[in-house]
Amino acid sequence: MKSVIKTMLILMACWPFLSSGSGSGGGGDGETGFSANYALGKKVFQRKIICETCPYPGLSIPDGVAEIVPDLEKEGAIGKSLSGRERRSVKLFLKKQFGIES
């Protein structure tokens, strides 16, 4: 009986730690670092590069994707309209999704 009570007390003492997840208490969407940059790159690629009114509408994926890499540079046709973080994120997305190095 004593061991049951002891076990229950230990579980009760540990309960807040077991149920808190990461324990950080921080908010946000949970995306940081790599996953946030990958998600941004994917979004920028779809919304600013291959949409119907974008510089490369109807781009052949994955075959035609390599042709946009030079335009992602700062002075390139696409690069001029993107921030530095957007350019880096698109390059990361292309590398991970299609294996294209820039």
pLDDT at 66: 85
pTM of the model: 0.66
**How far is it, in rounded angstroms, from Cα 5 to Cα 100?**
61
Domain boundaries, the chain: 31-102
pLDDT one digit per residue (tens) for the chain, 102 residues: 666 666 655 656 655 555 545 444 444 555 678 899 999 999 999 999 999 999 889 888 888 888 888 888 888 888 889 999 999 999 999 999 989 887
Peptide bond just before 62 cis, omega within 30 deg = yes
